[in-house]
């Protein structure tokens, strides 16, 4: 039994004004979410350990007790963008193995980086409509611009790693990457991925089981 925890970063200052992409820091509310998230996950880590020990004690009724099983590693992965790195800032490195991974970055919007959807619609109406009509295949114009399919390909090695690992993990990432990770574990069709509802300040816990993945969701109330 293991747990894969997923969330988006806390609210950024760009989220507040509706700008996409970029590398903005957290807003005040986003920083509060980061602090609560680390406390919540720390409690969940302790609960998991308790359950592990209870299970083990259930098996070792003999007069010569066996040594306790080692506590499972708990990893924290973020992207390399400020908003996810700052969300992880309160995680204690003595309790969690923290790593920042470029593959977890948000979809790169090329020419449209740091614009609002309204600005894109006004400056590049054809691009705006092309995306609206086919969000999955649409690739943002300009150097490095990505599509959902591009992001699916870049995230794939991490999905393989998540499947393989036995550690517990918290992944702090972005809207598009979170949709892709959830869709993979919950068997959502590719066509539906770009419109999945994945609000900020929500925590998802996935527990892979032999016949599918169990999902639990928590919403953080500010």
Give the binding range for ligand F6P (CB under 6 A) out of 31-39, 59-67, 106-114, 151-159.
Answer: 106-114
Does 194 help bind ligand F6P (rule: CB under 6 A)?
yes
Does 10 help bind ligand F6P (rule: CB under 6 A)?
no
Shortest CB 72 distance to ligand F6P, Å: 31
Q: Quick check: 180 and 193 in contact, CB under 8 A?
A: yes
Does 20 help bind ligand F6P (rule: CB under 6 A)?
yes
Does 109 help bind ligand F6P (rule: CB under 6 A)?
yes
How many whole angstroms separate alpha carbon 108 and alpha carbon 146?
5
* Helix (H), strand (E) at residue 175: helix 175-186
Strand pairing class (168-173; 4-8): parallel
Does 181 help bind ligand F6P (rule: CB under 6 A)?
no
Give the binding range for ligand F6P (CB under 6 A) out of 68-76, 82-90, 105-113, 201-209.
Answer: 105-113
Position among 81, 176, 181, 183 found at the interface with ligand F6P (CB under 6 A): 176
Does 201 help bind ligand F6P (rule: CB under 6 A)?
no
Q: Quick check: 177 and 106 in contact, CB under 8 A?
A: yes
β-partners of residue 209 are 212
| 100 is a catalytic site residue | no
How many whole angstroms separate alpha carbon 221 and alpha carbon 200?
11
Does 175 help bind ligand F6P (rule: CB under 6 A)?
yes
| 9 is a catalytic site residue | yes
Q: Quick check: 37 and 7 in contact, CB under 8 A?
A: yes
Nearest CA to 179 out of 188, 170, 167, 169 is that of 188
Secondary structure percentages of the chain, helix, strand, coil, to 5 = 45, 20, 35
| 68 is a catalytic site residue | no
Does 86 help bind ligand F6P (rule: CB under 6 A)?
no
| 174 is a catalytic site residue | yes
Which residues are tagged catalytic? Answer: 8-9, 15, 83, 106, 174
Residue ranges binding ligand F6P (CB under 6 A)? 20-21, 106-107, 109, 174-176, 194
């Amino acid at each position: 039994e293991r747990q894969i925890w997923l969330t988006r970063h806390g609210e950024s200052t760009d989220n507040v004004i509706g700008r996409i992409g970029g590398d903005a820091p957290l807003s005040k509310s986003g920083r509060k979410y980061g602090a609560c998230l680390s406390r919540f996950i720390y409690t969940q880590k302790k609960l998991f350990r308790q359950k592990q020990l209870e299970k083990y004690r259930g098996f070792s009724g003999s007069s010569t007790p066996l040594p306790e099983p080692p506590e499972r590693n708990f990893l924290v992965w973020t992207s390399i963008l400020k908003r996810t790195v700052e969300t992880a800032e309160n995680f204690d490195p003595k309790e969690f193995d923290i790593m920042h991974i470029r593959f977890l970055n948000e979809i790169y919007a090329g020419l449209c980086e740091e614009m609002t959807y309204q600005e894109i619609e006004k400056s590049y109406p054809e691009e705006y409509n092309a995306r609206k009509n086919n969000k999955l295949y649409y690739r943002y114009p300009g150097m490095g611009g990505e599509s959902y399919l591009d992001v699916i390909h870049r995230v794939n090695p991490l999905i393989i790693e998540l499947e393989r690992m036995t550690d517990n993990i918290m992944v702090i990432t972005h809207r598009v990457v979170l949709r892709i990770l959830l869709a993979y574990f919950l068997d959502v069709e590719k066509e539906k991925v770009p419109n999945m509802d994945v609000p900020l300040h929500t925590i998802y816990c996935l527990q892979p089981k032999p016949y599918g993945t169990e999902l639990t969701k928590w919403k953080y109330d500010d």
